[in-house]
Amino acid sequence: MKCLLCEKESKGMPHARVTPDARKWHDQHFPGMNLDEVLAKTGICEDCIALPPAERKKLAKKAIDHEKNEYRRELMEDAVKKRRN
């Protein structure tokens, strides 16, 4: 399983949980992306859980920004493929 925050592979991590408000935010910002599939493959490792809250928050923001960019890139690639066809 991959850590949501540091992206290291680790076994035995608990699955991340999402509040209803966070799920709603996710669905608004990432339509079509199945959050449950992502969460089944990821969690937060013990090293990241042990970090002070401010450090975890920094890592979380970085991870969210990275995911936004990846999703945006995939949408752009799909649009380019459609235009070529």
Looking at residue 5, what DSSP letter applies?
A: T
Which 3-state string (H, E, C) describes 10-70? CCCCCECCCCHHHHHHHHHHCCCCCHHHHHHHEECCHHHHCCCHHHHHHHHHHHHHHHHHH
Q: Mention every residue, 6+ apart, whose C-beta is less than 8 A from residue 12.
A: 1
Residues 6+ apart with CB under 8 A from 21: none
Whole-number pLDDT of residue 7? 85
**Across the 85 residues of the chain, what is the mean pLDDT of every consecutive 10-residue run?**
83 74 92 84 83 93 90 91 87
| pTM attached to this predicted model | 0.55
The residue ranges of every structural domain in the chain are 2-84
What pLDDT is attached to residue 58?
94
